[in-house]
Chain A
């Protein structure tokens, strides 16, 4: 059962991701992206990463995706939702990408990955929090500066100059 669900999640993720990059309608791509994000969230759950799964839903689905859809809407007349967009260099692009996929696949199979069995933790949030406050305090603080900068930059860019 769990296996079935897993493969369904995987299927949803990959198929929708393929739609993201394939669809001729930009908006369809955005919607497919939603399913991808959700699928990835599912994978996180399978990986016992509850906190990350939550963040994924909130930030990606709730934030980034909305942002993207806004972007699509804002850059197009709101009335026409039917926005087609084109692709370039599909053939060669696909070749290159398949090459990379083959390489990575080969790597995945052949590499003796470092694996340690572990039991499922109660929840990950606390550990993550501790890590953030201890080992990764500096990145945590720095990230805030980054966000501040991004904020300033984004407002500067979007502000109408007079």
Chain B
């Protein structure tokens, strides 16, 4: 267990699962969840690298910032999603894409 590569593989799996979620999910919230997985995977990397390079705490700080920004981003994203729903729930649109019609 005390091997860097183990953590890296976990993080890589998370990263890829996140990517997979992002590119396959049609629901915006689900896409957002995928993004969270990606961010988590990056964080695992940061923390793992910090741990195995002599407790380089810069990695921890980085992870901390990522978590904070992830929260902010999630909030913003959800605000936008909810806003869309609020504004248009009564409008019956067949497809979301008004753009590029």
- Tell me, yes or no, whether A and B come into direct contact in the complex with CB atoms closer than 8 A: yes
B13 in complex: contacting residue of A14, A33, A46, CB < 8 Å: A14
Chain B residues with Cβ under 8 A from A7's Cβ?
Answer: 1
**Binary interface encoding of chain B residues 24-36 relative to chain A, with 1 for a CB under 8 A from any of its CBs, else 0:** 1111011011101
Instruction: Check if B17 sits within 8 Å of A75, measured CB to CB.
Output: no
Q: List the B residue with the shortest CB-CB distance to A2.
A: B1
Chain B residues with Cβ under 8 A from A147's Cβ?
Answer: 68, 72
Bound Cα distance A88, B24 (Å): 5
By secondary structure, the B interface counts as helix
Bound Cα distance A20, B14 (Å): 11
Does A150 count as interface, using CB distance less than 8 angstroms?
yes
Q: A2-B1, A18-B17, A104-B12 are in contact. Are A115 and B53 (CB under 8 A)?
A: yes
Q: A17-B17, A60-B67, A115-B53 are in contact. Are A75 and B81 (CB under 8 A)?
A: yes
Bound Cα distance A131, B17 (Å): 32
Bound Cα distance A75, B79 (Å): 11
Instruction: Check if A49 sits within 8 Å of B50, measured CB to CB.
Output: yes
**Binary interface encoding of chain B residues 71-93 relative to chain A, with 1 for a CB under 8 A from any of its CBs, else 0:** 11011101111110110000000
Question: For chain A, which range describes its interface: under 10, 10 to 19, 20 to 34, or 35 or more residues?
Answer: 35 or more
Q: List the B residue with the shortest CB-CB distance to A160.
A: B86
Chain B residues with Cβ under 8 A from A71's Cβ?
Answer: 29, 32, 78, 81-82
Q: List the A residue with the shortest CB-CB distance to B58.
A: A131
Bound Cα distance A14, B20 (Å): 13
Interface residues of A (CB under 8 A from B): 2-3, 6-7, 10, 13-14, 17-18, 20-21, 26, 29-30, 33, 36-37, 40, 43-44, 46-49, 51-52, 55-56, 59-60, 63-64, 67-68, 70-72, 74-75, 85-90, 93-94, 96-98, 100-101, 104-105, 108-109, 113-119, 121, 124, 127-128, 131-132, 135-136, 139, 143, 146-147, 150, 153-154, 157-158, 160
